[in-house]
Amino acid sequence: MASPSSDLDRERRKCTFIVAELTDIINGGREKTERRRYLESIILNDPIFGNKDSHFLSREEKYSKGVMKSKRLSEVLKEHNIENPQDYKIMLNVIGESLPIGLHNSMFRPTIRDQGTDEQRKKWLPLANDYKIIGTYAQTELGHGTFIRGLETTSTYDPKREEFVLNTPTLTATKWWPGCLGKTSTHAVVMAQLYIKNQCYGLHSFIVQLRSLK
């Protein structure tokens, strides 16, 4: 590891406060500082998460490496029993790049956990938690982003088939930029306007399978 410049070292010695105390204040206490350093060490000491020569990789090579890191991260989370979202964010910050399972952990699983029924959670969460399915979150459309009331994708209930039919009735309803959708995700939580008997019941979330699991 390269040594800091003499100028930086000189300025650091002029510090008028105790660095460790400020670090604890920023982290929310000594215990949280130790927790953060523990989580950082897990990533830093695992060679799979190394970023050496990453700037020289092709797009396909970067994706393959991202998949490898994603697989290893899922193993690490289980090995160390890490479930706290803040812990997960700390580890992602150390990894320093977006991963193909980013939205799976930050949006897909939490949406099912927090908004799903008991029956839905029982069915989908074990699959998602074990990475037997990989999910993304499809909200943003070509014509709408955070203005979710304006989303145009529809989900119409068909009573004869007892199923929901999703549709993008306009060009601007096209789901746009859902991360991890292009290659990785097998499923998505799709945000759409619910229609039953020609009446709109507002925005609801629907789990949609995107590609084969084989």
C-alpha span between 58 and 67 (Å, rounded): 14
Predicted local distance difference test score (pLDDT) of residue 159? 96
150 & 86 share domain = no
Residue type, 202: G
Q: Is residue 78 part of a domain?
A: yes
Contacts (Cβ under 8 Å, ≥6 apart) of 43: 49, 76, 91, 94, 95
123 & 203 share domain = yes
Q: Is residue 128 part of a domain?
A: yes
196 & 115 share domain = yes
Last residue of a domain, one of 99, 126, 141: 99
Last residue of a domain, one of 99, 122, 137: 99
91 & 114 share domain = no
Q: Which CATH number goes with the domain that contains 167?
A: 2.40.110.10
Predicted local distance difference test score (pLDDT) of residue 112? 97
pLDDT tens digits, 170-196: 999 999 988 888 899 999 999 999 999
Q: Is residue 144 part of a domain?
A: yes
Predicted local distance difference test score (pLDDT) of residue 144? 85
Q: Structural domain tally of the chain?
A: 2
Predicted local distance difference test score (pLDDT) of residue 1? 56
Residue 9 lies in domain: 4-99
115 & 90 share domain = no
- Burial category of 24 from C-beta neighbours within 10 Å (exposed 0-12, middle 13-18, buried 19 and up): middle
Q: Which CATH number goes with the domain that contains 61?
A: 1.10.540.10
pLDDT in 10s for each residue of the chain, 214 residues: 567 788 998 998 899 999 999 999 999 999 999 999 999 999 999 999 998 888 899 999 999 999 999 999 999 999 999 989 899 999 999 998 889 999 999 999 999 999 999 999 999 999 999 999 999 999 999 998 788 899 999 999 999 999 999 999 999 999 998 888 889 999 999 999 999 999 999 999 999 999 998 8
Q: Is residue 112 part of a domain?
A: yes
Q: Is residue 214 part of a domain?
A: no
